[in-house]
Structure 1
Amino acid sequence: MTDNPRQPARRRRPAPGPATVTATRRIPGGMVRLTLSPEKPVSAMDLQYTDHYVKLLFPPVGATWSWEDATIDPATVRDVLPKDQLPVMRTYTLRSWDTEANTVDIDFVIHGDQGIAGPWAAEVQPGARIAFAGPGGAWRPSPGYSRYVFAGDESAAPAIFAGVENLPAGSSAEVFLEEEDAAHALDAPVAPEGSEVTVHRVYRDGAVHGTELVRAVVESGLAAEAASGTRTSWFVHGVAEMIRDLRRHLFVDNGLDRADVSISGYWRLGMVEDEWQASKREFNAEIEAAEAAAQAAR
C-alpha cells in the first residue's frame, strides 16, 4: 500500500466492540446501507480521515454462538473460542458517521447468496447485533493541491465519496468510478460549495473488474498533466489487479511522486478477504520489484 506520508501515520486499532443495527435500506447500485450504533460512543472514536474502515466480525458458517449472546465478548472472543468457531473478519469502509446520533453508516454490495457479509446485510433487521474492530484510516484531502483524482470500484466508493464531500474549498476533482452497469449506478456525492467535481462513470458491462477503469484513467491523460506540473493528489483503491496496472502508469510511465498518491488493493479477483490479506504483502513486493526493474531499464 502506498499512503501519503504527509498524512499522520495509522494508529493502532482499539479492541473489538459490539454494535446494534438500527436501520437498513436499499440504495442505488444494488447495495444495502446499514446504520449501526456502536456501544462505544462514536464521539470517542478517532475519526479525522475520509477513508475510515472497520473490521466486521461475523460468526462462521455453522457457528454454535452468535452476537445475540451477551456473554460473548468481542474483545476476548478469540481467546475463548476454538479455532473452528472463531469470527470471520471482513473489512468495510464507513460511508458516514453521526456523533450526535451515535451511528455509523456502512454500504454493502449484494451478490446474491455469495459470501458472508453480503447475505447477512441483505437479510439483517434492526435490533440485530454485530461486532467490529476499528476504525482505521490514514487519508483525507490535504490542502495545497490544485487538483484531486479519485479512482476505484464499488468497494472504494464510500471512501471516494467521503473524500469528495470533504474537498478543500475552491478545489477541483476528477472521479473515475467503476460500476457494474448503468442500471447499478450509485448516487453521486455532493461536493462542498465552490468545488468543481467531474464524475466519470465507468461501466464494466461484463468486462473483468478493473480493466475499464484502468483504460479510462490512462486515456484521461491526467497523470501526464500531473507530471508536467499540475500538482495533483491521487486516491486510487479497489481490485488489486487494477492497482498493479495503475501503479505502473503513475509511477513508472509518468514518474509521479509517491508522496502524492494513496493507492492500495482492497480485494483481489478469485480470493476471499482472508486469502487476499495473507498474500497481500507478497503481491505488493512483486509489484514493487517489477516497477524497480522497469524504471532501471529506462
Structure 2
Amino acid sequence: MSDTQPQAPAGPPARKRTPRHATVSAVRRVTPHLVRVTIAGPELAAVAPTGHTDTYVKLVLGELADGRPLLRAYTVRARRDAGDTVSGEAEWDLDVVVHGDEGVGGPWATRAQPGDPVTFLGPGAGYAPDPEAPWHLLVGDDAALPAIAAALEALPAGAVAHVVVEVPGPEDELPLDSAAHVTLTWVHRDRAGGGLAGAVRAAHAAGELPAGAPHVFLHGEAGMVRDLRRWVRAELAVPRELLSASGYWRRGSDDEDWRARKGEWKAAVEQDDAALVG
C-alpha cells in the first residue's frame, strides 16, 4: 500500500457494556427441559422497560481462554416491579432450556440456588408485535418459546396469531395465554413431518393461514430460520420491516463457534434478499 493512499475512516468506538448485578431469588422446573430462574435486586428496578417483548440479557457465566466473558443470552420472560413482589425487590424471570449436562446455560440453571450472585449485560431488544398488523406468524423452537409467550401476552383482543413451536416432546408443551385469537401447533422434535418449516408450509398449503402479509417472528436453529425466512419472504410477500428472524444456535456448532460464524450467516441472508429483488 502506498504511503499516500487515503486510509479508511476509523469506525465508531466499541460500545462499552456495563455489567449489572442481581441475585437468584427462585428456581423452578417449568417443564422437563425448561428451568425458570428468577433474579432480583435494586439494579433491576433502575432498568427502564424496553417496550419490546423480545427483551434479552446476556448472562456472564464464566471466562473464555482469551479473557473475554463467557456470555449466554436469555429472554426476560416476565418482569415485576418491587411493589408487586413478596421480596419487595424488582424481579425478572429467565427461562433456560436444559438438555442434561450439555452446554453452559442449562447446567448453570440446573445448579442455581437462591442467593447466588448473577452478573449480566443489557438488556437488549429487537421485536414487539405490531398491533396494527393484519395477522401474526410466530415460529420458533424451545429456545424461542419465552419470547413467543411474551409476544402472545402482549397481543390485544381481536388480533390473529398463528404459532408453531418445536419442543422435545408433549411433556414440554406449555399453556400460552393471549387475548388474541391464537392457532397453536406444537411440533415434537425428531418426529416425522418436516419440523417447523414443514408445519408452516403444510398450514399454508391447507389454506389455514390468513390472507395478507403477517408480522413475522422467526427465531431458532439457524438453518431452519434461513430456510423459512426465504419462504415467508417469497410465498407470503413479507417485507423486511415486518420480519424479525434470527438464528439463536446452529446444529453441529457450539455457541462460541456459532458466534464466530454468525456474520457468514447474516451475509447469506442478505444474498437471499438480493436474489428476491433480482
TM-score tier after normalising by the smaller chain length: 0.7 to 0.9
1:39 Cα deviation after fit:
4.1
Kindly tell me: are residues 85 and 286 of structure 1, through their superposed partners in 2, closer, same or farther at Cα, counting changes over 3 Å?
A: closer
* 1:188 has 2:175 as partner: yes
Give 1:23's aligned residue. 26
Kindly tell me: are residues 225 and 251 of structure 1, through their superposed partners in 2, closer, same or farther at Cα, counting changes over 3 Å?
A: farther
Give 1:221's aligned residue. 204
Note if contact 2:222-2:250 (Cα within 8 Å) is conserved in structure 1: yes
Note if contact 1:141-1:168 (Cα within 8 Å) is conserved in structure 2: no
Q: Which amino acid aligns with 1:31?
A: L
Q: Which amino acid aligns with 1:169?
A: A
- Equivalent residue runs for 1:86-101 within 5 Å: 86-100=68-82, 101=85
- For residues 118 and 70 of structure 2, the distance between their equivalents in structure 1, rounded to whole angstroms, comes to 12
Q: Which amino acid aligns with 2:274?
A: A
Note if contact 2:56-2:124 (Cα within 8 Å) is conserved in structure 1: yes
Kindly tell me: are residues 145 and 60 of structure 1, through their superposed partners in 2, closer, same or farther at Cα, counting changes over 3 Å?
A: same
Deviations 1:190-232 (A, max 9, x none): 102xx21121111113579xx5000001111189888x95242
Structure 2 residue runs without a partner (length 5+): 1-14
Give 2:60's aligned residue. 57
1:236 Cα deviation after fit:
0.8
Give 2:190's aligned residue. 205
- The alignment yields a C-alpha RMSD, in angstroms, of 2.5
Kindly tell me: are residues 134 and 215 of structure 1, through their superposed partners in 2, closer, same or farther at Cα, counting changes over 3 Å?
A: same
- For residues 167 and 26 of structure 2, the distance between their equivalents in structure 1, rounded to whole angstroms, comes to 25
- Equivalent residue runs for 1:1-298 within 5 Å: 15-60=18-63, 84-100=66-82, 101=85, 102-185=90-173, 187-192=174-179, 195-205=180-190, 211-221=194-204, 229-293=211-275, 296=278
Note if contact 1:45-1:135 (Cα within 8 Å) is conserved in structure 2: no
Structure 1 residue runs without a partner (length 5+): 1-11, 62-82
Kindly tell me: are residues 250 and 46 of structure 1, through their superposed partners in 2, closer, same or farther at Cα, counting changes over 3 Å?
A: same
Kindly tell me: are residues 87 and 161 of structure 1, through their superposed partners in 2, closer, same or farther at Cα, counting changes over 3 Å?
A: same
Deviations 1:40-77 (A, max 9, x none): 1335333311000100001248xxxxxxxxxxxxxxxx
Deviations 1:69-122 (A, max 9, x none): xxxxxxxxxxxxxx5554311111111110223010011111111222111110
Deviations 1:9-42 (A, max 9, x none): xxx7851111100000111242111100144133
Give 1:77's aligned residue. none
- For residues 279 and 220 of structure 1, the distance between their equivalents in structure 2, rounded to whole angstroms, comes to 32
Q: Which amino acid aligns with 1:201?
A: W
What fraction of aligned residue pairs are identical, expressed as a percent? 37
Give 1:6's aligned residue. none
Q: Which amino acid aligns with 1:28?
A: T
Q: Larger relative contact order (C-alpha < 8 A, sep ≥ 6)?
A: 1
1:176 Cα deviation after fit:
0.3
Note if contact 2:22-2:44 (Cα within 8 Å) is conserved in structure 1: no
Q: Which amino acid aligns with 1:93?
A: T
Question: Aligned with 1:159: secondary structure?
Answer: helix
Question: Aligned with 1:155: secondary structure?
Answer: coil
Note if contact 1:202-1:212 (Cα within 8 Å) is conserved in structure 2: yes
Q: Which amino acid aligns with 2:43?
A: K
Number of paired residues? 258
